[in-house]
């Protein structure tokens, strides 16, 4: 099991200094190392890998349960294929990396390093899909993608090598089935984020900001402690735009050739970024027990009978990820170490505990210490783990609720957005009006809900049909 280096110093930054705290926690808890000499590119250390694996394994299970199959598509797209869909090209061309040569010769055709895999996959879809019997096709992959932006980068949240991009791509017989698939994707991501205790709102992206090559898309958006919004996931209805240019046709049930309807949706390590940012505290990580690489750490306070007792206790805890920290450092240092790494429960065992047949449990989320009789350890640990899950989710939800505000004038909206959080404004639903607002207000227009009807009029004076949501974003 991972110990990583000895974390003898303290974290040294408070969460209220969020920007500094966030980067320091990621490094200190050994999730990533930011010292690789390329801007926006990070090394994932074993502890971070374990975290991402637990997180991604859950996602893969959700994918497979709903009939998605994992595949792998090449990293490189010949420029001729990458360029097929005009809007997509416009959206992704500028910041995509280009391979032009090897160490000794020029390539005959330039290669694009995938910034996302639509063109790469759909070239193959056109070969795979022949008849309605081949549909729906539901494929996903988890791969690194590359977007060489010049903006400020930030580990996990805004990176140039996105290491864990889970992208799902589907093809269907009818428009209606594609719409249904969008709902399934939303359901899957909702379950996923709830499992992680990450609060979110689901917004439909305004038309002027829709994914390059799409009909419409939804974003899952959360807010980090500094009040900036973070897009967690995107769910996109592609219609038939790609089907047309890649000629993805099938023989339908009436023996007629038709184009498929497509969707795609993705998440990345940003999700872990949100987990760290939202649940963490002044001591470091606070992890939902299901993704904690270490769920229970046992710290011996050296004394008579301690080792035997620990042996006995840990035999109760099968099925949990348990570490006994027997290193030759003071218990206090061990506490810091495992608190920084977000371990949900610490068990302390010393002579006192041996004599009186109990253990002392410390909860990572509340800091509370609890004495538990030996006979009840297993039951209590499982109970506390599920209580921690509930507690951190609740806390996150409450924090999030305070970040959502409503404004009824431009002036008010401006102030609110600058203060942080998500600000919604009654909106008539017209593009001109929305784009006009976006121009005048700080931050970005995130989108709107399908089913919200304000009583107040739009700022333009017309009747409003929904709210338009704004925030400063990562």
Q: How far is the CB of 71 from its own copies (least distance, A)?
A: 5
- Assigned token pair, 141: 């992959």
- Measured CA to CA, the distance from residue 286 to residue 283 in angstroms comes to 9
Q: Categorise residue 12: left if φ over 0, alpha if ψ from -120 to 50, beta otherwise.
A: left
The nearer residue to its own copies, 102 or 402, going by C-beta atoms, is 102
Q: Which residue has the tokens 């047949």?
A: 357
Residue whose CB is less far from its own copies, 46 or 331: 46
Q: Which residues contact residue 352 at a Cβ distance below 8 angstroms, ignoring those fewer than 6 apart?
A: none
Q: Which is nearer to its own copies, 239 or 293 (CB)?
A: 293
| DSSP result, 121-188 | HHHHHHHH--BGGG-SEEEEEEEEEE----S--BTTTB-SEEEEEEEEEEEESSHHHHHHHHHHHHHH
Could you count the other beta carbons within 10 Å of the beta carbon of residue 58? 16
Q: Which is nearer to its own copies, 155 or 206 (CB)?
A: 155
Q: Do residues 279 and 315 touch, judged by C-beta distance below 8 A?
A: no
Measured from the CB of residue 121, what is the shortest distance to its own copies in angstroms?
9
Pick between residue 319 and residue 461 the one whose CB is nearest to its own copies: 319
In 10 A of CB 404, how many CB atoms? Answer: 15
Nearest-approach distance from CB 31 to its own copies, in angstroms: 11
Residue 165 or 220 with smaller CB distance to its own copies: 165
Q: Which is nearer to its own copies, 138 or 283 (CB)?
A: 138
Q: Which residue has 């809007």 as its token pair? A: 87
Residues with Cβ within 8 Å of 458's Cβ and at least 6 positions away in sequence, in order, are 426, 427, 428, 433, 464
Q: What is the nearest approach in angstroms of its own copies to the Cβ of residue 52?
A: 8
Distance, CA of 308 to CA of 84 (rounded, Å)? 67
Nearer to its own copies, 101 or 257 (CB): 101
- Gap between the Cα atoms of 129 and 136, Å rounded: 9
22 class by beta-carbon count within 10 Å (0-12 exposed, 13-18 middle, 19+ buried): buried
Closest to its own copies by CB, 31 or 384: 31
Least gap, CB of 143 to its own copies (angstroms): 8
Taking the complex as a whole, the smallest distance from the CB of residue 308 to its own copies amounts, in Å, to: 26
Q: Using CB under 8 A as the criterion, which residues of the chain lie in contact with its own copies when the complex forms?
A: 2, 5-6, 33, 35-38, 41-46, 49-50, 53, 69-76, 78, 81, 92-104, 111-113, 120, 123-124, 127-128, 133-134, 139, 144, 146, 148, 161, 163
Work out how close the CB of 267 gets to its own copies at its nearest, in angstroms, rounded to a whole number.
Answer: 17
Tokens standing for 127? 């070969």
Q: How far is the CB of 96 from its own copies (least distance, A)?
A: 5
Q: How far is the CB of 301 from its own copies (least distance, A)?
A: 23
172 bridge partner residues: 261
Query: 245: how many CB neighbours lie within 10 A of its CB?
Result: 18
Instruction: Provide, rounded to whole angstroms, the least separation between the CB of residue 295 and its own copies.
Output: 18
CB of 264 to its own copies, least distance (A): 17
Residue 100 or 254: the one with the smaller Cβ distance to its own copies is 100
DSSP per-residue letters across 175-231? HHHHHHHHHHHHHHHHHHHHHTT---EEEEPPGGG--TT-SEEEEEEEE-TTS-EEE
Q: How far is the CB of 60 from its own copies (least distance, A)?
A: 10
Compute and round to an integer the Cα radius of gyration of the chain. 25
d(CA 388, CA 285): 13
User: How far is residue 127's CA from residue 402's CA, in Å, rounded to a whole number?
Assistant: 50
Distance CA 1, CA 321 (A): 9
347 - beta bridge partners?
A: 298, 361
Secondary structure (DSSP) of 412-466: HHHHHHHHSSEEEEEE---HHHHHHHHHHSSSEEEEB-TT---SSPPTTSSPP-E
């Amino acid at each position: 099991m991972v110990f990583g280096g000895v974390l003898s110093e303290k974290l040294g930054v408070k969460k209220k200094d969020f920007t500094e705290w966030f980067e320091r926690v990621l490094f200190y808890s050994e999730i990533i190392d930011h010292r690789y000499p390329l801007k926006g590119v990070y090394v994932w250390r074993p502890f971070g890998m374990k975290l991402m694996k637990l997180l991604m394994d859950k996602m893969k299970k959700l994918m497979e349960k709903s009939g998605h199959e994992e595949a792998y598509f090449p990293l490189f797209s010949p420029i001729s294929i990458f360029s097929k869909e005009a809007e997509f090209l416009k959206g992704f061309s500028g910041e995509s990396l280009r391979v032009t040569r090897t160490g000794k010769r020029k390539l005959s055709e330039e290669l694009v390093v995938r910034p996302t895999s639509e063109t790469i996959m759909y070239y193959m879809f056109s070969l795979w899909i022949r008849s309605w019997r081949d549909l729906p096709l539901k494929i996903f992959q988890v791969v690194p993608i590359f977007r060489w932006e010049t903006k400020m980068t930030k580990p996990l949240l805004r990176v140039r090598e996105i290491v864990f991009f889970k992208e799902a791509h589907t093809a269907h017989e009818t428009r209606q089935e594609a719409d249904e698939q969008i709902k399934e994707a939303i359901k899957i991501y909702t379950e996923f984020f709830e499992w992680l205790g990450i609060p979110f709102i689901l917004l439909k992206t305004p038309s002027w900001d829709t994914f390059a090559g799409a009909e419409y898309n939804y974003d899952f958006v959360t807010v980090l402690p500094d009040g900036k919004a973070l897009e967690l996931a995107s769910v996109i209805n592609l219609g038939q735009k790609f089907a047309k240019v890649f000629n993805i046709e099938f023989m339908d049930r009436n023996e007629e050739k038709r184009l498929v309807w497509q969707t795609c949706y993705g998440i990345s390590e940003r999700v872990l970024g949100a987990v760290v940012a939202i649940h963490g505290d002044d001591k470091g990580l606070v992890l939902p027990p299901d993704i904690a690489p270490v769920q229970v750490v046992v710290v011996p306070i050296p004394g008579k009978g301690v080792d035997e007792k620990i042996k006995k206790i840990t035999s109760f805890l099968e099925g949990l990820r348990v570490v006994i920290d027997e290193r030759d450092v003071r218990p206090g240092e061990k506490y810091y170490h495992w608190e920084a790494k977000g371990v949900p429960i610490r068990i302390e065992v010393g002579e006192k505990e041996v004599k009186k047949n109990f253990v002392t449990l410390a909860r990572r989320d509340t800091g509370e210490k609890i004495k538990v009789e030996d006979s009840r350890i297993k039951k209590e640990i499982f109970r506390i783990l599920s209580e921690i899950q509930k507690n951190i989710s609740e806390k996150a939800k409450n924090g999030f609720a305070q970040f959502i505000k409503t404004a009824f004038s431009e002036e008010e909206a401006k102030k609110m957005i600058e203060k942080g959080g998500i600000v919604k404004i009654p909106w008539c639903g017209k593009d001109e009006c929305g784009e006009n607002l976006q121009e005048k207000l700080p931050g970005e227009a995130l989108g709107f809900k399908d089913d919200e009807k304000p009583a107040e009029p739009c700022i333009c004076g017309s009747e409003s049909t929904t709210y338009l949501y704004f925030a400063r974003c990562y």
